[in-house]
Structure 1
Amino acid sequence: MDRLSRKNLRGWIAYACLGSVALTGCHPVDRFHAWRDSKSVSYYQDFITRIEEPVPSSCMQTQVPETLNPFAIENPSELPAMELSLQDAIQMALQNSEVLRNLGGTVVAAPQGLPTQIDPALTDLNPLGGTQAALAAFDATVNSQLFWQKNDLPQNFSPSGLPPEIANLLGVFAFNQTLGTNINQIQKRTATGATYALRSNIAYDRNNRPNRKYESDFSGFLEAEYRQPLMQGAGTTFNRIAGPNGVVGQYNGVLIARINTDISLADFENGVIRLINDVETAYWELYFAYRALEAQISGRENALRTWQRIRELQKVGYRGGEADAEAQARSNYYLFASQLNDALSGTNGLYAAEQRLRYMIGIQATDGRLLKPVDDPIQAEVMFDWQESLSDATNRRVEVRRQEWTIKRRELELIAARLNKRPRFDALTRYRYRALGDHLFGARNPNESTDSFFSNLGTGDYQEWQGGFEWNYNVGLRQASAAVRHAQLNLAREVAVLKEQQLRISHDLSNAARQISRSYEQMQINYNRIEADKLQVEVLRNRYEKGLININFLLQAQQQLANSTSSFFRSLVDYNLAIRDFHREKGSLLNYNQVSMAEEPLNGSMLSGAYEQGRYFTPRDNPQDVIVRDRVSAGPFDPTSVGTPGQGTFGASASMLEGSQDETLKGSPMAQPSSQGFGASGTNPSEIRPPESNLETMPK
């Protein structure tokens, strides 16, 4: 082996060793182990392992720092009162409802599922499946490319044995080139699935080939292209449902996106209904808390007077002042005092109920004032037309309308799946103008047609065209057939869910009607209990003062009077809540509380588009020749139209709704509730049936 071979061998061995080391990687040697047994952790390790606290820059100041100390055992009569009607409570709740609250209070534990005012806007502006995203698929797209490059390419060419003249004509050993490329394209897709494209391609070329006319030149073309699907992907129906870029089983068209927005609006309306439902619950529960507190105060005062009477008899030694009687009266007094404390500061007491109402209307927990309801609950009997109410509940309720939107979406998906069960067959045409020029602009030599690129392009001397068809077929269409069957099953499922919802709604409405009758009857019974207990207390007090009965009978009668008074107001509140529940189950709770909803006003560009589209709705000279497509929507829906005004249905008149349009709060950014004026408890007294003769002793 010669010296050169041995040198090459040593080099290859060295390279192999370096490669083996590189493949194994590097591993630092851990030389220090003392810190593993150390009892104290270093400051740096403690610093980098601690939990950080975020400092967001978009947080706004809230009313929480303004909250005062909560009320506990203060006397409510000594606190400044803030009189509040149910109308004002609902209006404040709607104005302060960026997040639609509920009495469950899940905003801290599970904030992800809370409905907010901006949820419809989030759905509509979703960049993946929103309305604007679906429309963006039909926007024109502009693509532009500009590249500059230098090429130095060796050639497999040998001029040996050839005359110099021929060798120069055949080529050079190294190909040197300066190349610039500019490609511009504008493309537009239509609702029928067709694609228009206008494309330009200009290349600058300067190289060392010896047989060129110009040392450098500009070459390229300008072409127009049109592609029209004839089977799969063709037609406005498919493209409006599935979108032009849709795949099998995925439907992202503008109709689907708009239905998703309508479903989100229905969810928002449902959240507003729950908000109003909870506000009314909190309002009447606070009313009951005041009445229950008054009943306990009255019972405590009666117990105190009885105890004081017995102590006076005990001091003078008269009959009735026995020690056991005094102890029983004192125990009864402290029993009322304990119940009074619970009615004031307990879990279901006055201050707790007042704070729940404060939370629902969106104000701080304590501001030094005490909320006081000023509206009186309904005491007269309210009657509803059952068949009309059942029809409204099963057809116009927001949950039913939401499910109907879902069914409409499934129907459109089935249509798109059937239209997609076809081969891909496209017609394609292309027309092209080519040109060549020594310069890009401006002709130096008018007699030379190829002196300027754009001048040569304008002459149209070099034209090309292409036309034909493209065919793409998946044998058996297995995936498309599965998509059709999947869409059919989805539609069948949603129809079954709608039927089940209507059945459940009919049961809930029946139970709500039963609760109205039960609570009204219970209210009469409890009022009669009050009258009987009042008479019983007076009779037993007189008999006890005469020494005819034991003190226990009087104390029990006083306790029964307090309980019957509290039970009456409990049944009165339950009666009003039962009426509220019936309207909620019927789907007319917004109408009952005079709340209307609307999407935000159109902006300038949308108004101009509406003006342009308005000409399609003008009367035609020959309306029989106008082609009307199947409607996706049944038209605008007003939630306040559920439940027509009548006996027992506290609806707004048409003039009231028309006159209060200026007060409707438009949604931001999509939809927002508003509160309009209504009477006490949302009722019109002229529409309430007067009490019957057996209720003439009902309190006024």
Structure 2
Amino acid sequence: MRRNQDKPLATRAPASPFCRVSDRLKSSWRKSRRAALLAMLVGATTVSSVGCSVFDRIKDGPHDTKASYHDDFAMRIEYPEVQQCATAPSEAAKQATEPLALEDPSKIPSLELTLEQAIQLAVQQSPVLRSIGGTVVSNPQGTTTTFDPALAHANPLTGTEAALSAFDAQFSQQLFWSNADQPQNILAGSVNAQFTPRALQEDYATYIAELSKQTAQGASFALRHNINYNDSNRPNRAFRSDFVGFLEAEYRQPLLQGSGTTFNRIAGPNSGIGQYNGVLIARVNEDVALADFEAAVISLVADVEQAYWDLSVGYRVLEANVKGRDAALQTFQYQQVRLEAGAGRSDEEAQAQSQYYQFRAQVEAALGGPDGLYTREQRLRYLIGLPASDGRLLKPTTTPTDVRVVFDWESALGQALTRRVEVRRQRFNLKRREMELTAARLNRRPRLDFLGQYRFRGLGDHLIGGSDKEQFDNLYGSITDGNYQEWQAGVEMQLPVGLRAASAAVAHANLNLRRERAVLAETELRVSHDLSDSARQIMLTHQLLETNYNRYLADQRQVDVLRRRYRDGTDNINFLLQAQRQVVTSEAEFYTSLTNYNLAIRDFHRQKGSLLAYNQVQLSEGQWAPGAYQDAYETGRHLTPRRNPSDVHIPSPLTSGPFDPSAPQMQTFMNAPATDAMLESSPQPTAEPTPAPTEN
């Protein structure tokens, strides 16, 4: 029999006279896990070659010498067969062309795109909310989609509909047939022998139907109907076969534990100690799922704006390096001419050539490097759902903001502590803990139920029909006559002495409540700190924008002066080469600071909870199915308003009303030109930075 013939020699265990049983068991296990446990086989063979293990004490069995059918199929890697619909993302994945690397961007057709269009494409292209990191491949279960709020609502265990199903009417029925053929231990010739058959032969049939309903107050109603059929050869029976049954109504009302709408709406009817699966808890779960979805949308919008401005500055950085490369090439060519004419030096010619290749390498890195133009362009393409490459080059056309922003700190702080989705999500968690503590306290009581039953009994030779002239002719006639009625009323009590489990549930709920309150306070503190940091970044980045702009102007003037002095022969080439490097660096940092300033404004809106409104993104429920509109219309016709709402006790509301995270807010920003006081520290004559050009 084939054992380890198909295994590499490096994984075979050397034969050992002391470990035969162990080798057989390990060989059988290796065969069924050939692919998954290959790395562990090396260690196993080392142990086998040194000594024996616990497997040596296990006797050989028939299963050790027979190969299993599953040995060759259990761990075989196969390809799944699934049904996949053609969608925009799947088509975009198949339509990707060869990626761009070092092509000249000026020779590639451009696709102009505004920031508003990019955000609109990102939120409408796919039900999956993308991220820059692309975690959908490594962590698909943790990816947020537009289906998540609906999944929370439709969850059969924790959703709202699942919680409401506990109050649905329940109908159950049972129907069984059976037969008995039992010999009797009766002495022949005795007195009982003439009244009892030697073999008892009976046919049975049982039918049970029940309709029950649970109410929000904890009460339960039930209507039962039982029918028993018996066909027997027993003597002294008026009918050989008969139908016996009853119609019963039951009412059970908890008086202490499990009573009241408050407890049943939070914990659900008939819930155990520490179990909270009521309608209100399910509603909070849905609100938390909506908050998570909103946070994912905010993250998507922030990522799109980040990628958009990164691509915009990528064009500017590439343009600055191209200018530096061309200037270095001109200097190198000029130095070559001087060297050929005998007026130059070879070391200066080598320095100019080295700087040219340095700028050329920077251009190539700014074009196709890990943080180059094509990489940034592809990152934006992924976020908006376009193919990785399609022969066109995305080109941002939105002009970045370069004017100073003034904001109202008190208003912004108040909005951040109110509108931030993280704060609202934590408030929902706190609300859930408050309701759980209320339910736990209501559940720390003995079980005392009032029970009432009323029953109509009947007996009949037939189930239904008959002559109706004889007594007990049919079962339903006997029941409807109402001659045989029974009732029962009383209370049932169950008291766990000490109520230890219920008291532990109260303590646990109280600790959870205190924890969520502490987390909410810490969340608000963190939000205020984050908002303060973002406000500081706005002021800092705008000041750096002005400083880098003045630096860029100064470096340009320095290059012009040193170029003239170098060509006049009054200065060394080293100063010109250094100035050329500085002007490229200052230009790149100026556009980088311009992008950082716009991202700082984005971060401030994000920390303030107004990013969706800032980017004009609205969240709304999708269209219903046509049948849902018809059901809502038919149900709404039967609903009438309360005539006297003050006479009806209504539980306290769960929320304070609807909240729209994308609604317009109080104006907290004003665009204002930079004042002279802000520029007093600048050593150079200052000028207002102009908007970045949109052409490459």
Tell me what 1:644 maps to.
665
User: 1:628–1:441: structure 2 CA closer, same or farther, 3 Å change rule?
Assistant: closer
* Counterpart AA for 2:665: T
* Counterpart AA for 2:690: P
3-state SS of paired residue (2:600): helix
Q: 1:549 aligns with which of 571, 587, 596?
A: 571
- Within 5 A, what are the aligned runs for 1:486-501? 486-501=508-523
420-429 vs 213-222, greater mean Cα deviation: 213-222
Residues in 1 aligned to 2:160 and 2:444: alpha-carbon distance in whole angstroms: 25
Residues in 1 aligned to 2:145 and 2:584: alpha-carbon distance in whole angstroms: 43
Residues in 2 aligned to 1:414 and 1:247: alpha-carbon distance in whole angstroms: 14
- Within 5 A, what are the aligned runs for 1:501-540? 501-540=523-562
User: 1:532–1:581: structure 2 CA closer, same or farther, 3 Å change rule?
Assistant: same
- Per the TM alignment, residue 610 of structure 1 is displaced from its structure 2 partner at its CA by 5.7
Tell me what 1:342 maps to.
365
The Cα offsets for residues 238-294 of structure 1, whole Å up to 9 and x where unpaired, read as: 111000131100100010001000000000000000011111000000001000000
3-state SS of paired residue (2:360): helix
Q: 2:132 aligns with which of 80, 103, 121?
A: 103
Residues in 2 aligned to 1:526 and 1:27: alpha-carbon distance in whole angstroms: 82
Residues in 1 aligned to 2:420 and 2:186: alpha-carbon distance in whole angstroms: 85
* Counterpart AA for 1:688: N
The Cα offsets for residues 425-448 of structure 1, whole Å up to 9 and x where unpaired, read as: 11111111111111112122x321
3-state SS of paired residue (2:395): strand
The Cα offsets for residues 512-551 of structure 1, whole Å up to 9 and x where unpaired, read as: 1111111000000010011101111111111111111001
Residues in 1 aligned to 2:518 and 2:402: alpha-carbon distance in whole angstroms: 41
Determine whether 1:419 maps to 2:402: no
The Cα offsets for residues 399-434 of structure 1, whole Å up to 9 and x where unpaired, read as: 000000000000000010011001111111111111
Residues in 1 aligned to 2:257 and 2:640: alpha-carbon distance in whole angstroms: 32
Residues in 1 aligned to 2:645 and 2:397: alpha-carbon distance in whole angstroms: 58
Q: Unaligned 5+ residue runs, structure 1?
A: 1-24, 36-41, 649-686
The Cα offsets for residues 111-164 of structure 1, whole Å up to 9 and x where unpaired, read as: 2222111111111111111111111111111111111111112334335343xx
Q: Unaligned 5+ residue runs, structure 2?
A: 1-58, 680-685, 692-696
Q: 2:118 aligns with which of 60, 81, 89?
A: 89
Residues in 2 aligned to 1:607 and 1:482: alpha-carbon distance in whole angstroms: 47
Tell me what 2:245 maps to.
220
Q: 2:83 aligns with which of 41, 52, 57?
A: 57
3-state SS of paired residue (1:615): coil
- Per the TM alignment, residue 31 of structure 1 is displaced from its structure 2 partner at its CA by 7.1
3-state SS of paired residue (1:309): helix
Residues in 1 aligned to 2:632 and 2:259: alpha-carbon distance in whole angstroms: 28
- Per the TM alignment, residue 625 of structure 1 is displaced from its structure 2 partner at its CA by 4.2
Query: Which TM-score applies when normalising by structure 1?
Result: 0.85
Aligned residue pairs, count: 618
- Per the TM alignment, residue 306 of structure 1 is displaced from its structure 2 partner at its CA by 1.6
Tell me what 2:216 maps to.
191
Retained in 2: the 8 A contact 1:175–1:207?
Answer: yes
- Per the TM alignment, residue 608 of structure 1 is displaced from its structure 2 partner at its CA by 5.0
- Per the TM alignment, residue 623 of structure 1 is displaced from its structure 2 partner at its CA by 6.1
* Counterpart AA for 1:245: N
Residues in 1 aligned to 2:635 and 2:519: alpha-carbon distance in whole angstroms: 38
Tell me what 1:698 maps to.
689
Tell me what 2:45 maps to.
none
Residues in 2 aligned to 1:231 and 1:311: alpha-carbon distance in whole angstroms: 101
3-state SS of paired residue (1:639): coil
Tell me what 1:684 maps to.
none
3-state SS of paired residue (2:672): coil
Determine whether 1:402 maps to 2:408: no
3-state SS of paired residue (1:640): coil
Residues in 2 aligned to 1:293 and 1:565: alpha-carbon distance in whole angstroms: 10
Q: 1:173 aligns with which of 198, 207, 225?
A: 198
Identity %: 52
The Cα offsets for residues 621-651 of structure 1, whole Å up to 9 and x where unpaired, read as: x66545342121111110023x724251xxx
- Within 5 A, what are the aligned runs for 1:62-211? 62=90, 63-158=92-187, 160-162=189-191, 167-169=193-195, 171-211=196-236
Retained in 2: the 8 A contact 1:296–1:339?
Answer: yes
Q: 1:443 aligns with which of 444, 463, 466?
A: 466
Residues in 1 aligned to 2:103 and 2:332: alpha-carbon distance in whole angstroms: 25
Retained in 1: the 8 A contact 2:537–2:600?
Answer: yes
- Per the TM alignment, residue 45 of structure 1 is displaced from its structure 2 partner at its CA by 6.2
Query: Which TM-score applies when normalising by structure 2?
Result: 0.85
Determine whether 1:28 maps to 2:62: yes
The Cα offsets for residues 650-695 of structure 1, whole Å up to 9 and x where unpaired, read as: xxxxxxxxxxxxxxxxxxxxxxxxxxxxxxxxxxxxx522344666
Residues in 1 aligned to 2:501 and 2:403: alpha-carbon distance in whole angstroms: 64
Q: 1:615 aligns with which of 641, 661, 673?
A: 641
- Per the TM alignment, residue 593 of structure 1 is displaced from its structure 2 partner at its CA by 0.6
Retained in 2: the 8 A contact 1:382–1:647?
Answer: no
3-state SS of paired residue (1:257): helix
- Within 5 A, what are the aligned runs for 1:294-443? 294-317=319-342, 319=343, 321-443=344-466
Retained in 2: the 8 A contact 1:158–1:173?
Answer: no
Tell me what 1:653 maps to.
none
- Per the TM alignment, residue 456 of structure 1 is displaced from its structure 2 partner at its CA by 1.7
Tell me what 1:660 maps to.
none
297-306 vs 474-483, greater mean Cα deviation: 297-306
Tell me what 1:629 maps to.
651
Q: 2:290 aligns with which of 265, 288, 295?
A: 265
3-state SS of paired residue (2:598): helix
User: 1:95–1:184: structure 2 CA closer, same or farther, 3 Å change rule?
Assistant: same
Q: 1:244 aligns with which of 257, 269, 272?
A: 269
The Cα offsets for residues 23-81 of structure 1, whole Å up to 9 and x where unpaired, read as: xx99538779xx9xxxxxx9996666532222223465612221111001100010111
User: 1:159–1:237: structure 2 CA closer, same or farther, 3 Å change rule?
Assistant: farther
* Counterpart AA for 1:690: P
- Per the TM alignment, residue 698 of structure 1 is displaced from its structure 2 partner at its CA by 1.6
Residues in 2 aligned to 1:222 and 1:215: alpha-carbon distance in whole angstroms: 24
Retained in 1: the 8 A contact 2:550–2:687?
Answer: no
Retained in 1: the 8 A contact 2:186–2:193?
Answer: no
Residues in 1 aligned to 2:293 and 2:157: alpha-carbon distance in whole angstroms: 21
- Per the TM alignment, residue 203 of structure 1 is displaced from its structure 2 partner at its CA by 1.6
User: 1:138–1:512: structure 2 CA closer, same or farther, 3 Å change rule?
Assistant: same
